[in-house]
Amino acid sequence: MQHTQAMLSSHPQPAAVDPQALAHCVQACFDCAQACTSCADACLAEENVTQLIRCIRLNLDCADVCDVTGRLTSRQTAVDTVVLRRQLEACVAACQVCGAECELHAQHMEHCRVCADACRNCEEACNALLTTLSA
Residues that bind a second copy (CB under 8 A): 1-4, 6-8, 10-13, 26-27, 30-35, 37-42, 44-47, 49-50, 53-54, 56-58, 60-61, 63-65, 67-68, 70-72, 74-78, 80, 82-83, 86-87, 89-90, 92-94, 97, 109-111, 114-115, 117-118, 121
Q: Which is nearer to a second copy, 60 or 133 (CB)?
A: 60
Give whichever of 41 and 124 is closer to a second copy, judged by the CB atom. Answer: 41
Distances in whole angstroms, Cα of residue 11 to Cα of each of 16, 60, 77, 96, 124: 11, 32, 9, 31, 25
Helix, coil or strand: residue 92: helix
User: Which residue, 75 or 131, is less far from a second copy as judged by CB?
Assistant: 75
- For 79: left if phi > 0, alpha if psi spans -120 to 50, otherwise beta; the answer is beta
Closest approach of Cβ 135 to a second copy, in Å? Answer: 20
Q: Cα separation of 121 and 29, whole Å?
A: 9
